């Protein structure tokens, strides 16, 4: 009878444990204590034969203490755009070529305080005062997680990465930022049901890929750490989508041309640098061969495509990684278009073998028919419009400088 009372007490203890909230279990009763209770009850059964009692099973929930662990039966979902008035957006790597522009576009659409820029660098005054900005290191998992929780983030745009030429100069840093940082982003996005956007690139393809045009699905064997890390990002994001239901979305960007940001170390950055040098000196030295054809896009098209794919209904997406394209040209063709308005422009060529090798392994043209079919992608800027827009920007900037 004494043994039966022990069993009854253990059963009562188990029932009490079942109604205690999980947070109280983890805070007030450690796993060793629960295991001890189970062990004591089990030993009591085995040590007292013939009592006629039914075998006792103490149900103990296995609680994980690892913030990164994704359980095998997890099922995540993100809050769709239609279910909320506005998403709450975090942009990592926000001081790069695209982050500031995307924040401006999203703030105009969703409200200034609903879009948070983040980076590890100190922002310029105009960026700091244009809307919320916080320090965020994607290699610091705890800090990143706190930002998502404290600010109730629902969308995460992950721009932090080392680009192609810079990555080849520091492979270990590129591996850390582009791959380890991505793993932190994926785990946090899955844990908190975020809608996650990670950009990919023409650099995700290699010399064995079809080059003209390059379809969405084909051989991908890049030969740069940047390209390898982007293929890794595509596959990991799609795996998390199929395995855990993560709302992962990805666009393979062509070379992006922007007037209000300096080149950031990419192989296609000549197409930005040529405008800066043409306005300042009337001369430009290109580090690629004159006939190197690569897909390009003006930044306004790029940012709009990012917004459109993020807002697209999930059931309209037949895939999770899309090519997008606008135009495709060579350095010589760009120079010829510029000379229509700047006849005195002098262009010379001093080929960088590292960048040229990278460019020769990339697509010459993107097939983006799936994006145009699934969510209505359509570019606005071709080469003549691109050149005119860039010159107008720098012309206005020059006039303002003279006035000041």
Do 296 and 384 contact (CB within 8 A), yes or no? no
Task: State residue 206's pLDDT score.
Answer: 94
Give the separation between CA 102 and CA 304, rounded to whole angstroms. 8
Go through the chain and tell me how many residues it has: 404
Residue 36 CA from chain centroid, whole number: 45
Q: Which CATH class is domain 81-403?
A: alpha beta
Task: State residue 396's pLDDT score.
Answer: 60
List the structure tokens of 399: 């006039």
- The string of pLDDT tens digits covering residues 191-202 is 999 999 999 999
Do 298 and 326 contact (CB within 8 A), yes or no? yes
Q: What is the mean pLDDT of each run of 10 residues along the chain (404 residues)?
A: 49 44 40 47 45 38 38 42 74 93 96 97 96 97 97 97 88 96 98 98 95 96 94 98 98 91 78 92 96 96 97 97 97 97 95 92 96 98 96 72 53
Pick the closest to residue 98 from 260, 329, 269, 294 (CA basis): 260
Give the separation between CA 29 and CA 27, rounded to whole angstroms. 6
Give the separation between CA 67 and CA 387, rounded to whole angstroms. 49
| CA dihedral (351, 355, 360, 365) positive or negative | negative
The 10 Å CB-count burial string (b at 16+, else e) for 91-109 is: bbbbbbbbbbbbbbbbbee
Q: Which sequence positions are flagged as catalytic?
A: 226
Task: State residue 400's pLDDT score.
Answer: 53
Task: State residue 264's pLDDT score.
Answer: 66
Largest CA distance in the chain: 105
Per DSSP, the three-state class of 236 is helix
List the structure tokens of 377: 């992608």
- The string of pLDDT tens digits covering residues 6-21 is 445 545 454 444 433 4
Do 199 and 159 contact (CB within 8 A), yes or no? yes
Domain boundaries for CATH 3.40.50.720 within the chain: 81-403
Do 355 and 165 contact (CB within 8 A), yes or no? yes
Strand blocks (E) in 277-319: 283-286, 294-298
Task: State residue 34's pLDDT score.
Answer: 44
């Amino acid at each position: 009878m004494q043994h039966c009372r022990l069993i009854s007490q253990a059963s009562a203890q188990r029932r009490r444990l079942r109604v205690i909230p999980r947070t109280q279990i983890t805070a007030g009763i450690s796993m060793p204590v629960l295991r001890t209770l189970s062990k004591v009850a089990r030993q009591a059964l085995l040590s007292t034969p013939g009592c006629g009692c039914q075998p006792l099973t103490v149900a103990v929930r296995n609680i994980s203490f690892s913030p990164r662990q994704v359980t095998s039966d997890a099922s995540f979902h993100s809050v769709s755009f239609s279910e909320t008035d506005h998403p709450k957006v975090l942009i990592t790597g926000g001081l790069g070529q695209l982050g500031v522009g995307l924040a401006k576009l999203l703030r105009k659409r969703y409200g200034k305080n609903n879009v948070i820029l983040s980076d590890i660098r100190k922002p310029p005054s105009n960026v700091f005062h244009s809307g919320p900005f916080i320090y965020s290191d994607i290699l610091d998992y705890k800090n990143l997680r706190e930002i998502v929780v404290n600010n109730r983030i629902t969308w995460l745009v992950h721009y932090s990465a080392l680009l192609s030429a810079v990555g080849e100069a520091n492979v270990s840093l590129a591996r850390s930022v582009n791959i380890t940082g991505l793993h932190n982003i994926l785990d946090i996005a899955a844990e908190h049901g975020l809608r996650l956007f990670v950009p990919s690139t023409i650099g995700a393809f290699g010399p064995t890929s079809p080059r003209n045009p390059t379809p969405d699905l084909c051989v991908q064997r890049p030969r740069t750490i940047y390209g390898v890390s982007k293929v890794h990002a595509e596959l990991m994001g799609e795996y998390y989508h199929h395995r855990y239901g993560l709302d992962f979305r990805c666009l393979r960007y062509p070379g992006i041309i922007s007037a209000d940001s300096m080149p950031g170390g990419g192989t296609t950055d000549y197409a930005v640098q040529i405008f800066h040098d043409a306005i300042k000196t009337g001369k430009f030295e290109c580090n690629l061969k004159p006939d190197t054809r690569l897909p390009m896009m003006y930044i306004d098209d790029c940012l709009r495509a990012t917004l459109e794919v993020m807002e697209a209904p999930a059931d309209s997406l037949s895939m999770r990684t899309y090519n997008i394209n606008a135009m495709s040209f060579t350095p010589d063709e760009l120079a010829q278009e510029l000379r229509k308005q700047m006849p005195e422009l002098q262009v010379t060529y001093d080929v960088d073998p590292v960048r040229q090798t990278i460019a020769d392994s990339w697509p010459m043209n993107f097939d983006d028919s799936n994006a145009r079919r699934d969510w209505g992608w359509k570019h606005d800027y071709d080469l003549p419009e691109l050149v005119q827009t860039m010159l107008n920007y720098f012309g206005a900037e020059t006039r303002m400088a003279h006035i000041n």
